[in-house]
């Protein structure tokens, strides 16, 4: 049985980690560079991941999922991201941002229809909060939802929606009462094959290039009242609650990227020679490796700790915002630190597309940006500690 400090992995945890590792190394790692280069969406491997239960790891089996716990999700996502962060992004949106929110705030009908489809791998989900003029300041959004009888009519433009070019269903946040600002936002689950839904420009990205990202536009899109999550005005609370779960996923993603960059660096430091020595014998390199390893293990403990806090919250109902934000902040900065050092250790080869190290470096950066930038995580953590705004 593997243990990390206070964390003991059960046989079920070992099993899902091994299954994810085997799949990721056999099926994803060999194609990652090609999909990074072309920016194509990796339909075949994503479909297989759905069939293996990776798109709804914590979703109960009755709603199409694998019925496992948060630590199982974190371990599987870490392994997928170690092979390719783009696959991990798609997986984490389906699990955390789509299924988790709908399970927590959706009606029975919503769970049976939309959670089932995404968790079982038959459909792809997305989450749309950001707009061109509001990212960190999500409460300042401009898109509108106006109730007309048993429907709401949606209008507006949302930006940076992961998986939007391919998603069948999207959780979308629109303003129903602009005067109330954050308290005037309402959440809906929408279907992308209905009139009034338009896919906008696809974003050409620095990293996670195989995960499709685009704008979406609503022009008099009609969504039934039954597709609302919670009550009118609950949207901001729902968005933030869902992001608590999402941030644990991004911490796992960052951890996977960092591990891949670190392992490549250790191997290279043991082989590459300069001035008649293995480069790993130079203190300038070996101290880098020591710092990389130490950061990774600290990030792991914070990430697994956040997973356990989320698991506990299923019984107690307590929020795990602090644990999730600390894990996301530290693990994402670790991914950036470690992948930057990995490029330096590989030097010229680290800068070449012949090795995946430059991809780890480009992919690591997103973990400091989406689902709340590092600055926003620091705001969340410090506000919780001081009680000040
Ligand atoms: C590849 C990618 C995928 C994404 N996927 C999704 C998705 O699926 N769904 C979705 O809704 N969004 C998604 N996003 C959007 C992402 O969440 C936002 O980019 C992020 O929240 C930051 O918003 P912004 O880019 O508008 O930056 P801004 O909010 O404009 O921030 C600009 C800078 O100012 C800083 N800043 C802002 N406010 C403060 C403050 N109060 N104190 C200190 N510093 C501050 C920020 O940290 C940042 O450094 C994605 C983004 C990318 C790049």
Strand partners, 148: 151
Say if CB 355 and CB 346 are below 8 A apart: yes
What is the distance, to the nearest Å, from the Cα of residue 102 to the centroid of all Cα atoms in its chain?
Answer: 16
Q: Which atom of ligand 1 is nearest to the CA of 211?
A: 1
- Residue in the block written with tokens 């974190």: 74
Q: Pick from 117, 130, 147: which is nearest to 228 by CA?
A: 147
Closest C-alpha to ligand 1, atom 13? 160
Is the pLDDT assigned to residue 260 strictly greater than 80?
A: yes
Catalytic positions, written as ranges: 371
Residue 124 to residue 49: CA distance in whole angstroms: 12
Say if CB 95 and CB 49 are below 8 A apart: no
Distance 267 CA to ligand 1 centre (A): 35
Closest C-alpha to ligand 1, atom 41? 376
Q: Which atom of ligand 1 is nearest to the CA of 208?
A: 1
Say if CB 41 and CB 212 are below 8 A apart: yes
Distance 365 CA to ligand 1 centre (A): 12
Distance 266 CA to ligand 1 centre (A): 33
- Three-state DSSP class for 153? strand
Distance 42 CA to ligand 1 centre (A): 25
**pLDDT tens digits, 283-336:** 999 999 999 999 999 999 999 999 999 999 999 999 999 999 999 999 999 999
**pLDDT tens digits, 342-367:** 999 999 999 999 999 999 999 999 99
2 pLDDT tier (thresholds 50, 70, 90): confident
Identify the residues whose C-beta falls under 6 Å from ligand 1. 93, 127-130, 135-137, 160-162, 205, 208, 213, 366, 369-373, 375-376, 379
**pLDDT tens digits, 57-113:** 999 999 999 999 999 999 999 999 999 999 999 999 999 999 999 999 999 999 999
Distance 247 CA to ligand 1 centre (A): 13
Closest C-alpha to ligand 1, atom 26? 135
Neighbours of 97 (CB within 10 A): 26
Neighbours of 274 (CB within 10 A): 11
Alpha helices, H only, the chain: 11-23, 29-38, 43-51, 70-83, 85-92, 101-105, 108-110, 116-119, 235-271, 283-316, 321-350, 357-366, 374-386
Beta strands 185-191 and 3-4 are: unpaired
DSSP annotation of 96 reads I
Is the pLDDT assigned to residue 126 strictly greater than 80?
A: yes
Q: Which of 97, 127, 130 to mutate to test the pocket of ligand 1 (most atoms within 8 A of CB)?
A: 130
Q: Which of 161, 373, 380, 381 to mutate to test the pocket of ligand 1 (most atoms within 8 A of CB)?
A: 373
**What pLDDT does 195 receive?**
98
Is the pLDDT assigned to residue 121 strictly greater than 90?
A: yes
**Would the pTM count as exceeding 0.85?**
yes
Alpha helices, H only, 56-152: 70-83, 85-92, 101-105, 108-110, 116-119
Is the pLDDT assigned to residue 1 strictly greater than 70?
A: no
Residue 351 to residue 357: CA distance in whole angstroms: 8
Residue 229 token pair: 């999550």
Percent of the chain scored above 70 by pLDDT?
100
Strand partners, 228: 188
Distance 229 CA to ligand 1 centre (A): 24
Give, for 100, the enclosing helix (H) or strand (E): none
Q: Which of 41, 139, 160, 211 to mutate to test the pocket of ligand 1 (most atoms within 8 A of CB)?
A: 160
Residue 12 token pair: 């079920």
Residues 159, 163, 165, 170: what is their CA dihedral angle, to the nearest 10 degrees? -70
Q: Which atom of ligand 1 is nearest to the CA of 126?
A: 8
Half-sphere exposure of 343 (CA within 13 A, CB side): 15
Range 232-250 average pLDDT: 98
Residue 134 token pair: 């509001």
Strand partners, 128: 172
């Amino acid at each position: 049985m593997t243990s990390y400090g206070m964390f003991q992995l059960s046989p079920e945890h070992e099993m899902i980690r091994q299954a994810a590792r085997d799949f990721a190394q056999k099926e994803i790692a060999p194609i990652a560079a090609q999909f990074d280069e072309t920016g194509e969406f990796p339909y075949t491997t994503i479909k297989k991941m759905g069939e293996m239960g990776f798109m709804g790891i914590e979703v109960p089996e009755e709603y199409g999922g694998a019925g496992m716990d948060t630590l199982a999700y974190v371990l599987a996502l870490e392994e997928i991201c170690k092979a390719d962060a783009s696959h991990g992004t798609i997986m984490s949106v389906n699990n955390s941002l789509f299924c988790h929110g709908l399970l927590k705030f959706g009606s029975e009908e919503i769970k049976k229809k939309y959670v089932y489809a995404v968790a079982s791998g038959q459909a792809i989900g997305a989450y749309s909060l950001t707009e061109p003029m509001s990212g960190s300041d999500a409460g300042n959004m401009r898109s509108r939802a106006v109730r007309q009888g048993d429907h709401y009519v949606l209008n507006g433009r949302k930006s940076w929606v992961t998986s939007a070019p391919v998603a069948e269903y999207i959780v979308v946040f629109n303003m129903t009462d602009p005067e109330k600002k954050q308290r005037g936002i309402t959440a809906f689950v929408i279907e992308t094959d209905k009139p009034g839904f338009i896919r906008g420009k696809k974003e050409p990205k620095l990293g996670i290039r195989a995960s499709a990202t685009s704008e979406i536009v609503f022009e008099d899109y009609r969504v039934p009242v039954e597709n609302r999550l919670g009550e009118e005005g609950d949207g901001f609370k729902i968005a933030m609650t869902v992001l608590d779960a999402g941030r644990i996923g991004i911490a796992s993603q960052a951890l996977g990227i960092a591990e891949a960059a670190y392992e490549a660096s250790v191997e290279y430091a043991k082989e590459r020679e300069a001035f008649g020595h293995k480069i790993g014998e130079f203190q300038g390199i070996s101290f880098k490796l020591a710092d990389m390893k130490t950061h990774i293990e600290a990030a792991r403990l914070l990430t697994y700790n956040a997973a356990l806090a989320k698991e506990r919250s299923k019984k107690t109902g307590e929020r795990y915002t602090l644990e999730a934000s600390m894990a996301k902040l530290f693990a994402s900065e670790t991914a950036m630190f470690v992948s930057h050092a990995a490029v330096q250790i590989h030097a010229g080869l680290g800068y070449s597309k012949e090795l995946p190290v430059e991809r780890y470096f480009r992919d690591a950066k997103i973990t400091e940006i989406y689902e709340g930038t590092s600055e926003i995580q620091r705001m969340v953590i410090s506000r919780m500690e001081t009680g000040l705004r």
